[in-house]
C-alpha cells in the first residue's frame, strides 16, 4: 500500500512529507503555477529525495 499526499506540496515541504512516510506527492499549483513547470517538478523531486 502506498501513502499519497494530494495538495499543498512544494519544495519547502516535500522532504518533510517524504520523511513522514508519503510515497506519492501530488503538487498541482506548485508545478502548474510555475513559469518553468519542468524545473518546478525537478526541484520538488530533488527536495523530496534529499538531493
Share of the chain above pLDDT 90, in %: 94
- pLDDT for res 50: 84
Domain ranges of the chain: 4-49
* Measured distance CA(20)–CA(35) in Å, rounded: 29
More confident residue, 47 or 50: 47
Spatial separation of the C-alpha atoms in residues 22 and 38, rounded to whole Å? 22
Q: What is the pTM of this model?
A: 0.88
Amino acid at each position: 500500500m502506498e501513502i499519497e499526499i494530494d495538495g499543498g506540496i512544494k519544495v519547502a515541504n516535500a522532504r518533510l512529507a517524504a520523511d513522514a512516510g508519503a510515497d506519492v506527492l501530488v503538487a498541482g499549483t506548485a508545478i502548474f503555477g510555475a513559469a518553468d513547470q519542468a524545473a518546478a517538478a525537478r526541484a520538488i523531486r530533488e527536495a523530496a529525495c534529499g538531493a
